[in-house]
Structure 1
Amino acid sequence: MYFHIFISNCNHLADILLLLFSDLRVTVLIISAILGVYWIFYVPCNWTKSLQSVGYMPAVNSINFWKRINSCKQHSINGFRRPRLIGITELPPPYPNGWYCILESSSLIAKNVTYVSCLGEHFVVFRTFDGQVNVLDAYCPHLGANMGLNGQVKGDNIECPFHQWSFRGSDGTCANIPYSHTEPKGIKVRKWICREINDGIFIWYHSENEKNHWELPFISAVDNKELVFHGRNEFYINCHIQEIPENGADLAHFPSIHKAFLLTGLEKRGEHLISRIVQHHWEAIWSTSVSPKTHVATLDLKHSIHLFPKFNILEVNVQAKQIGPSFVHLHLKSSLFGQIEILQTITPVEPLIQKVVHRFYAQKFFGPLIKLMIFAESVMFERDIVMWNNKTYRSKPQLVKEDAAIKNFRNWFSQFYTENSKSFLESRSALDW
């Protein structure tokens, strides 16, 4: 709808400009300039990469074999992943207990139904007429139809597309069987604890089926629209979920991976001329919180850009709150662009495939700078993805005293595993039917 309104307004603008300027070329240039300014300030950007796009090199050297690149890339990816399965018994359970973002709020309008598969589960997510979001098990208990595909919202219920059985969003009980006079006692699907907060739809996952022990924080600047949404990035990564937040406690990786200027590639980045002129410098401290917020860890980060490399030309202070296994709230402050909030969510699509999304919020008039920041953050994050996509997990790594934060992180993260947390082998076998 908004797109059609935008196009209609553009057509009216073009008619007015043609009346003012007889030269079509001038009109085209003016319209292009206006659209460019509008995009920079008002249109959120979307940096999206698939699993094959980052961190794997195609197994061909000649650019003439374009038709072979995708197949060769997939072959290379499979080649990297196979040897990493050696020693899989070292892996922690792939689905830690906690809150997980299974959908962004903007993806679900009123009366819409969506199917989501993650965490080894299958969900039907739907929004009722009054805007309430409900999450149930996707498969109907009758004959197993997927209610997330062509299911319909009827009041506060979800109606199965196969035989029109309907289930209450509030508790998952069967509310109606249209062709039966029998009261559907005891028929229900699982109702998942869910929250819509910070522009995301989250569910509580726990291997012992325990109720949520803690709540996600309400970020007021995001929910009250004090800060504007400027864009997002999205990546799929081939690793265990624990390895992504562990990066924050791996303090030694910052100068190794992220020192070189963002416009240089990861390969031979230290040899690049521009890396001798412009460098990123990092100072980091990782810590845990005390009771009752033992589920929270904090990374205090000071990021500066140096020229030649003595002159500090930009400084950004970052506080990253790791809240549970999958949610990170990054609060950035700088004299150049003020306050920025970045929300990171990690969702295990499969035991060793993670969907990672960053959403960026800042004041409206910082649009151009925030788009540059989204580019910069995406490039830096892709450097980490190259490592994650090609490494193996070490349950007992050889650490030195300077790596103490990694050991502390693993002790802290272990609280999200419990006795009945499914192992990697159990979780993977559930996919092989």
Structure 2
Amino acid sequence: MSNGYPEAPDKAVYKNAVVLTLFVVILTTILFYWMFYVPFNWTKHMNDVSYSEVLKSENLSSGAHKRDAINRLRKARKIGSKELPPPFPNGWYGILESSNLKPGGVKYVSCLGEHFVVYRTETNEVFILDAYCPHLGANLGIGGRVVGDSIECPFHQWRFGGTDGKCKHIPYSTSVPQGSKVRKWTSQEFNDFIFVWYHADTTEKPWDLVASVNKMNNDFVFHGRNEFYVNCHIQEIPENGADLAHFGAIHNESIFAGSLTPKTSMLSRFGYHLWAASWSSSKGPDKHIAEVTLSHKLEIFKNLYCFQMDVSGKQIGPSYVNLALYSPTLGHFRILQTITPVEPLMQKVVHRFYGPRWMGPLMKIFIFGESVMFERDMNMWNHKVYRKNPLLVKEDMSLKQFRLWFAQFYENSKSYPEVTNVGW
């Protein structure tokens, strides 16, 4: 109780100490929660990676002029359309992350030269249909409503069943026109992705995606993701795993040296990454699977290594990679990669990271490092031309083997000129 006299010094000090302690406790709790329970998200578009030097020379840093300049650079780049493989290979594609589709949710997804409506019923079933209503062409994925296992058109409320795509109900008509339906796509949900089966031959049966992947550890949790948009042909991204020589060329310098000019950065020697790699493909029923194995060491001083890691990357078809990682120090963790052709030469690449809960702070550092390394590859992909018959040396044999293996996914596929009408 105040008596008009100043507070005793010891009481003021005590009060300040309590306030400071409370502040530190709250801040520590928030930091702890973020490190262990909040997933880390790293998203980069093309204008954020590999075009900055060119834009700097034109004194463009933001806004519409920047986007226009990047689009101009994309069009000006030599494409070599006659050499390009078909842009949409056959296989399973992860077109939507499960967390982006809640029960009763509807999404419109445009990729692979197709237009999909993806929706989840209240009983958690996922269906994928063609997006445009056969009545008057409304987009079922924009304003469509889930009713039971059907999707209802926002324009005239025609309903189409998820199991077969057939029209089930027209509210203002006593009959449903014979043959009124939209295409139903084969799909499955697995490892936090919604996949669609895409094949040039619509009668071709899909391979078993689940059987091709090692089961996720029960104690693994989701730690974060990154997302990139890359200006290249889809084949060039997984081909990187068979390009064994490129690891030493662009991935040796420290992750703290950044992604654009790591060799000239002052931080380039703040840790040195050493790689050993091999690539192989499967035969017989599992011919759609290939595997890259990597051995990584982080050298901080000459012959002094502070971190080692072994990576087994299983490439399943043209677009899905399951990376199992092991470190004697940290144990096991996992990265799942999907590549989705948004356009013939525009790939959306997502990596999702999983591991034990206690690895939260370390996984955030790892997501940062993997993202920087991927951006270094983007600097190449965004500006290179595809060589159908590259000049190779004997040490590039794995590249030749990769292309022979990957060619199986182009059976009956439309060529780049057919898809884009180039020269037509």
TM-score of the aligned structures, taking structure 2 as reference length: 0.91
CA distance in 2 between partners of 1:53 and 1:356 (Å): 15
Cα RMSD after superposing both structures: 2.2
Contact 1:298 1:319 in 2 (8 A): yes
Matches within 5 A, 1:138-287: 138-217=131-210, 221-222=215-216, 225-266=218-259, 268-276=261-269, 278-287=271-280
CA shift digits 1:180-205 (9 cap, x unpaired)? 11244321110000001111100000
Aligned match of 2:419 = 427
Per-residue CA deviations over 1:188-247 (Å, capped at 9, x if unaligned) read: 11000000111110000001113333111355653x743101000000000000000000
- The separation in 2 between residues aligned to 1:267 and 1:134, in whole angstroms, is 41
Q: What letter corresponds to residue 427 of structure 1 in structure 2?
A: V
How far off is 1:429 after superposition? 4.0
- 1:367 pairs with one of 332, 354, 360: 360
**Residue identity matched to 2:322:** H
Q: 2:386 aligns with which of 393, 418, 426?
A: 393
Compute the displacement of 1:61 (Å): 4.3
* 2:115 equivalent to 1:122: yes
Deviations 1:73-130, CA, capped at 9 Å, x for gaps: 3344234322334521111110000000110111111111111000000001111111
Shift in alpha-carbon separation, 1:209–1:299, aligned structure 2, 3 A: same
Matched, 1:31 2:26: yes
Q: Among 410, 413, 423, which residue is 1:417 paired with?
A: 410
Aligned length, in residue pairs: 408
Q: Distance in 1 between matches of 2:276 and 2:146?
A: 51
Question: Partners of 1:268 and 1:158 in 2: how far apart?
Answer: 49
CA contact (8 A) 1:238 1:354 kept: yes
Judging changes above 3 Å, is the alpha-carbon distance between structure 1 residues 81 and 278 closer, same or farther for their aligned structure 2 residues?
same
Task: Specify the code of the residue in structure 2 equivalent to 1:153.
Answer: V
| Cα distance change, pair 100–313 in 1 and its aligned pair in 2 (3 A) | same
1:116·1:124 contact (CA, 8 Å) conserved in 2?
yes
Query: Given the alignment, which residue of 285, 292, 296 partners 1:292?
Result: 285
- 2:306 corresponds in structure 1 to 313
The amino acid across from 1:425 in the alignment is: P
Structure 2 residue aligned with 1:104, among 97, 100, 105? 97
2:135 and 2:270 map into 1 onto residues whose CA distance is: 66
Is the 8 Å Cα contact of residues 231 and 360 (structure 1) preserved in structure 2? yes
Deviates more, 1:209-218 or 1:275-284: 209-218
Compared CA separation, residues 150 and 255, structure 1 to 2 (3 A): same
Deviations 1:304-363 (A, max 9, x none): 111223212211000000000000000000012111111000000010000000000100
Q: Aligned residue for 2:395?
A: 402
> What is the DSSP-based 3-state SS (H/G/I as helix, E as strand, rest coil) of the residue aligned with 2:184?
coil
Distance change (3 Å), C-alpha of 1:291 and 1:239: same
Unaligned runs of 5+ in 2: 1-14
Match of 2:41 in 1: 46
Q: Is 1:276–1:309's contact at 8 Å kept on the other side of the alignment?
A: no
CA distance, structure 2, for counterparts of residue 272 and residue 186 of structure 1: 64
Q: Distance in 2 between matches of 1:170 and 1:137?
A: 13
Q: In the TM superposition, what are the counterparts of 1:2-21 in structure 2 within 5 Å?
A: none
Moved more, 45-54 or 129-138: 45-54
- Which of 1 and 2 has greater Rg? 2
CA shift, 1:292, in A, is 1.2
Compared CA separation, residues 23 and 381, structure 1 to 2 (3 A):
same
Residue 153 of structure 1: CA displacement? 0.6
CA distance in 2, matches of 1:273, 1:208: 53
CA distance in structure 1 between the aligned counterparts of 2:37 and 2:115, rounded to whole angstroms: 36
Percent same amino acid at aligned positions?
Answer: 53
Which residue of 2 is the match for residue 15 of structure 1? none
Structure 1: gaps (5+ residues): 1-19
CA offset digits 1:129-167 (Å, max 9, x no partner): 110000000000111100001110111111101111001
**2:284 partner SS:** coil
- Pair 86,132 (structure 1): closer, same or farther in 2 beyond 3 Å: closer
